[in-house]
């Protein structure tokens, strides 16, 4: 990416308007390749399923496809989008799979991880209508993510995760699928945790291996540990105590390569990274419109919004840089507030801003690649454009939304 300074951002702002996202595709490619190398240096059979839900900007997904990733999708919309983008290899997860999309995915040979009994019934029905067809599916295992101290590591402090089949259910499901001639080619163990700790993958892998051995899942081609990893942190985030890609590869592969069933079957290890490859790939640039002081508090108003950079409205300040036309000495403390006319539209709280900042300057917020663009519907403002920046070349990969776009799916 070109050196980013006031003049550079000002040029992009004149061309595309503000606010806008900046996408750095080479960082994304680098993240994927680094994650791959961490595994491939120990074991040759690896599939990376890029988690669409994290950010499905087509230009980004094209890079994942070029890097050899499968699309990992969790809904009909994501499935259709992946196929439209051109992915031949799709991993279809998620709790709701209506029969038409499920049957389409079966016809197209996608890797489908079933989550619930109603899907098993649909697949059995499909097989009975297509007795001559080789039907192969995957199953999601409900993982007990309780650590040695009895603490649940499931995301948001939940006591249990709700996805997949319990082991007890699988003891009925697996024999009934096998009896109908349906092959089980994938086992999925994704379990989201809040701490993204390496040890969680020990729990996941052990439970998956034990199930594979017990039920002799010898047709398995995809040993899918899911996503939920840490990585791709934007500069400015303290990563000193955070895991690296190789830490995850070590724990997963060390356990697998010691296991008798695994060494006999040698399936692909599947990882489904989202945040951990895309967080630092996007930044968000908005323009400062005014500075204000009210009851001793200073505010900078921008045409950006918190809903575009952290739609979950968490309270952490994201890494950021102010770009001012006129530099000067000193800073003061202010809140950066957004354009939506909502009091809670606070993008940065109590941060140091250059003393010379004024109308026409810019602020860039980093690390906004994950769960932002996909979670940002039209709200008060037109949806922002995305500019892909590669060296000196820039490409508009999404234009700004227009009134016609907003009206397109309403019947008036
Ligand atoms: C099945 C599945 N795979 C992969 C991911 C990606 O997780 P993350 O973005 O935390 O890496 C998720 C996210 O919830 C998921 O549900």
243 lines ligand 1 (CB under 6 A): no
What pLDDT score was predicted for residue 1? 60
Residue to mutate, 197, 201, 226, 372, ligand 1, most ligand atoms under 8 Å from C-beta: 226
CATH number, domain 25-279, options 3.60.10.10, 3.20.20.10, 3.40.50.2300, 3.30.390.30: 3.20.20.10
Atom index in ligand 1 nearest the CA of residue 278 equals 9
Is the C-beta atom of 226 inside 6 A of ligand 1? yes
Task: Indicate if ligand 1 lies below 6 Å from the C-beta of 196.
Answer: no
Which pLDDT does position 392 carry in this prediction? 87
Cβ–ligand 1 distance for 191 under 6 Å, the answer no
What's the pLDDT score for residue 73? 98
150 CA from centroid of ligand 1 (Å): 24
pLDDT (0 to 100) of residue 412: 85
Measured in angstroms, how far is the CA atom of residue 302 from the centroid of ligand 1?
32
Query: What is the structure's pLDDT at 384?
Result: 98
Closest ligand 1 atom to 273 CA = 11
Domain 6-22+282-407: give its CATH superfamily: Lyase, Ornithine Decarboxylase; Chain A, domain 1 (2.40.37.10)
19 close to ligand 1 (CB < 6 Angstrom):
no
Tell whether ligand 1 has an atom less than 6 A from the beta carbon of residue 229: yes
| Cα 177 to ligand 1 centre (Å) | 27
Q: The whole model's pTM is what?
A: 0.97
CA distances, 209 to each of 7, 111, 173, 205, 257 (Å): 55, 19, 18, 6, 11
Residue among 51, 78, 375 whose CB has most ligand 1 atoms within 8 A, to mutate: 51
Domain ranges for the chain:
6-22+282-407, 25-279
Instruction: Give me ligand 1 centre to Cα 411, in Å.
Output: 35
For the chain, residues with pLDDT lower than 70 are 1-2
What are the pLDDT digits (tens) for 356-402? 999 999 999 999 999 999 998 889 999 999 999 998 899 999 999 99
CA of 242 to the centre of ligand 1 (A): 18
């Amino acid at each position: 990416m070109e050196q980013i300074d006031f003049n550079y951002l000002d040029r992009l702002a004149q061309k595309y308007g503000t606010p806008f996202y900046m996408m750095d595709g080479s960082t994304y490619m680098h993240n994927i390749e680094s994650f791959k190398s961490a595994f491939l240096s120990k074991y040759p059979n690896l599939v990376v399923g890029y988690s669409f839900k994290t950010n499905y900007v087509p230009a980004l997904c094209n890079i994942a496809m070029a890097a050899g990733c499968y699309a990992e999708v969790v809904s009909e919309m994501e499935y259709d989008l992946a196929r439209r983008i051109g992915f031949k290899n799709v991993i279809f997860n998620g709790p709701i799979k209506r029969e038409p999309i499920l049957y389409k995915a079966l016809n197209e040979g996608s890797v489908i991880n079933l989550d619930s009994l109603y899907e098993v019934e649909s697949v059995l029905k499909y097989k009975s209508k297509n007795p001559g067809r080789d039907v192969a599916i995957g199953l999601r295992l409900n993982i007990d993510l309780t650590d040695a101290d009895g603490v649940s590591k499931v995301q948001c402090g939940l006591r249990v995760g709700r996805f997949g089949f319990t082991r007890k259910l699988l003891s009925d499901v697996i024999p009934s699928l096998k009896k109908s001639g349906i092959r089980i080619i994938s086992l999925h163990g994704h379990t989201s945790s809040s701490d993204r700790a390496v040890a969680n993958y020990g729990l996941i892998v052990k439970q998956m291996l034990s199930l594979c051995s017990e039920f002799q899942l010898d047709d398995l081609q995809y040993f899918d540990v899911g996503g939920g990893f840490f990585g791709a942190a934007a500069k400015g985030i303290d990563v000193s105590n955070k895991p690296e890609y190789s830490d995850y590869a070590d724990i997963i592969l060390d356990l697998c390569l010691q296991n008798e069933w695994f060494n006999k079957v040698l399936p692909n290890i599947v990882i489904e990274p989202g945040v951990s490859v895309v967080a630092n790939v996007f930044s968000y640039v908005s323009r400062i419109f005014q500075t204000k002081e009210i009851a001793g508090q200073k505010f900078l108003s921008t045409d950006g919004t918190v809903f575009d950079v952290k739609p979950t409205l968490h309270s952490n300040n994201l890494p950021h840089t102010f770009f001012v036309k006129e530099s000067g000495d000193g800073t003061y403390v202010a809140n950066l507030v957004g354009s939506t006319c909502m009091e809670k539209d606070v993008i940065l709280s109590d941060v140091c801003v250059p003393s010379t900042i004024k109308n026409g300057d810019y602020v860039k917020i980093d690390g906004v690649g994950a769960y932002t663009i996909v979670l940002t519907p039209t709200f008060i403002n037109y949806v922002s454009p995305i500019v892909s920046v590669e060296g000196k070349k820039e490409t508009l990969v999404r234009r700004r939304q227009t009134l016609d776009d907003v009206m397109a799916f309403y019947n008036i």
